[in-house]
Amino acid sequence: MGIEEEFYATIKLKSGEEIFAKVAASEEEDRTLLLLSSPIVISEVKTKNKIIGYQVEPWLKTTTEDMFIINMDDVLTLSESSDIEMIMVYQNYVRQADKESSNYSKINRRMGYISNVNDAKEILEKIFKSS
């Protein structure tokens, strides 16, 4: 029982999804779980000029979490990666995502007037009627 050392890997899930992430394996009772750090999906993009590039996106787009647990039973195959270019693309993506998430500010009253829906509706109706 415990968490093994982290490594970079490409994971093909039984659902058909292919993801790349920093992975750590954990033995829990009678099953193996994979802890995925900031998993990404990479797709090949071709331009009109036959130039091939790659698009990097988060595996799950509707969450801000960066750590996921999947059961090894859901994995078709897993391949440890030592491809320096792939690891650098992943690390750049993670750094960029961290930088973007730290740029967001919390809304507060010093940024401007914050009202409730009824007050805002009343003010907007007055402006509309006076124009």
Q: How far apart are the C-alpha atoms of 63 and 57, rounded to whole Å?
A: 13
pLDDT on residue 4 = 74
CATH topology of domain 2-104: SH3 type barrels. (2.30.30)
Mean pLDDT of 77-96: 92
For residue 105, the tally of other CB atoms under 10 A from its CB is: 6
Statement: residue 100 has pLDDT above 90: no
**Strand residue runs (E) in 1-131:** 2-3, 7-13, 18-28, 31-46, 52-58, 67-71, 75-80
Statement: residue 129 has pLDDT above 80: yes
Mean pLDDT of 44-58: 87
Report the alpha-carbon angle 100-37-7, nearest 5. 130
pLDDT on residue 8 = 96
Mean pLDDT of the chain: 86
Q: Are strands 7-13 and 75-80 parallel, antiparallel or unpaired?
A: antiparallel
pLDDT on residue 6 = 92
pLDDT, tens digit (0-9, with 9 covering 90-100), for 38-48 = 999 988 888 88
Check: pTM over 0.75? Answer yes or no.
no
